[in-house]
Amino acid sequence: MNLKFSYLYRDGANYKNYNEVIFSNPNNRPVGEVDAIIKEGLIDRTWFVARKWNLPDMHFLEYPWDSEIDHQWHEFEFIEETSELVTENISVEDFLNKIQSDGE
């Protein structure tokens, strides 16, 4: 099964922009193990900076940056198994390696 990583950007005015990416899982890593590794790499087990993890930035492009409500953090929602087609060029292993190297 592939793994779907779901996340969102929530600005200071509580407007939300959602996204999901799907990674291949060639080593059949259990979703619980992957979830634990992701959470270890999060800020307060919730937030991350999308560009540091090479994920699409979900800021609202139709509105200019507003330093009163905009920030860099994105919010992790969940990871789950899926039979949907892969959307990313890297595997979940490569993604986890990126997360773990980001914290070093």
Pairs from 6-9 (Cβ < 8 Å, separation ≥ 24)? 6/77, 6/78, 6/79, 6/80, 7/48, 7/50, 7/55, 7/58, 7/74, 7/75, 7/76, 7/77, 8/58, 8/74, 8/75, 8/77, 9/50, 9/57, 9/58, 9/59, 9/60, 9/74, 9/75
| Average pLDDT rounded to a whole number, residues 45-53 | 94
| Average pLDDT rounded to a whole number, residues 44-63 | 92
Q: What per-residue confidence (pLDDT) applies to 69?
A: 86
| Average pLDDT rounded to a whole number, residues 38-47 | 95
| Average pLDDT rounded to a whole number, residues 18-26 | 98
Band the pLDDT of 104: cuts 50, 70, 90.
Answer: low
Q: What is the mean pLDDT of the chain?
A: 93
| Average pLDDT rounded to a whole number, residues 86-96 | 97
